[in-house]
Amino acid sequence: MRYYRMRTLPYNQTHVTEKLIIVNAVVFLLTSVVQNLQYYLALIPSFILHGYIWQFVTYMFVHGSVSHLFFNMLSLFIFGSVVERQLGSREFLLFYLVTGTFSGILSFLSYLLAGTNVVLVGASGAIYAILLLFAVFNPYAQIFVFGLIPIRAPILVLVYTGIELYSQVFAAGGNVAHLTHLFGLLGAYLYCLVRLKISPLKVFKDSLN
């Protein structure tokens, strides 16, 4: 079954993935040279409480280092390019922005409830969402972890979910925003159910039988 035919916006192909990579790279350069710009664009709970609500969107275009940017954009290019072709550029852009914003909002609420103030940056929430959607559309695809170990896409998503849950519960992984990654996966799951009318669990179960 070609699940990507469940799209809801008219199909077009305008290479949104490449444009998102360019925007992320430009924002990284700007935040590297413009003093304090990062603090206006990153997601900072105390700033949002003072009206900086655009940070729910802009945080996903900010990165803390070259390696942070590189690995996120590499994942976006590898998986996003495929998903964009299957879903269509308009729906893909909507998916990227909705899941990234969803991750930001839930992260903000979790930090607020915990009484902590952080500087949250990165596209990882949206990237994890794309990985789940890739697995839904391509449940038989093999992904070579470290370039050596072949793992079916749905299994890889489940493994990543388990790693992120473990890291969040046991505070492993340093400054990595594991909860934001989990919210990205949750956002993609809900997007599939509500907008695309696809059950990721059913797709995964069918593909692994």
DSSP-derived secondary structure for 86-121: HH-HHHHHHHHHHHHHHHHHHHHHHHHHHT----B-
| Span 90-98, average pLDDT | 97
DSSP tally for the chain: helices H, then strands E: 11, 2
162-196 in b/e burial notation, b at 16+ Cβ within 10 A?
Answer: eebeebbeeeeeeeebbbbbbbbbbbbbebbeebb
Q: Which residue has the tokens 């695309």?
A: 196
pLDDT per residue as tens digits for the range 126-152? 999 999 999 999 999 988 877 788 889
| Span 14-18, average pLDDT | 97
CA–CA separation, 48 vs 111, rounded Å? 12
158, 83 Cβ separation under 8 angstroms: no
pLDDT of residue 1: 43
**In the predicted structure, residue 167 carries a pLDDT above the cut 90:** no
pLDDT of residue 192: 96
Q: Which residue has the tokens 């599939």?
A: 192
164: confidence class by pLDDT, cuts 50, 70, 90: confident
Q: What pTM value is reported for the model?
A: 0.91
CA–CA separation, 29 vs 51, rounded Å? 25
CA–CA separation, 127 vs 2, rounded Å? 22
CA–CA separation, 123 vs 58, rounded Å? 10
**In the predicted structure, residue 181 carries a pLDDT above the cut 90:** yes
pLDDT of residue 6: 60
pLDDT of residue 173: 52
60: DSSP letter = G
**In the predicted structure, residue 46 carries a pLDDT above the cut 60:** yes
pLDDT of residue 70: 97
Q: Which residue has the tokens 């995964």?
A: 204
CA–CA separation, 189 vs 193, rounded Å? 6
The least confident of 3-7, 41-45, 91-95, 147-151 is 3-7
**CA quadruple 60, 111, 67, 140: dihedral positive or negative?**
negative
**In the predicted structure, residue 74 carries a pLDDT above the cut 80:** yes
Q: Which residue has the tokens 């700033």?
A: 47
206, 144 Cβ separation under 8 angstroms: no
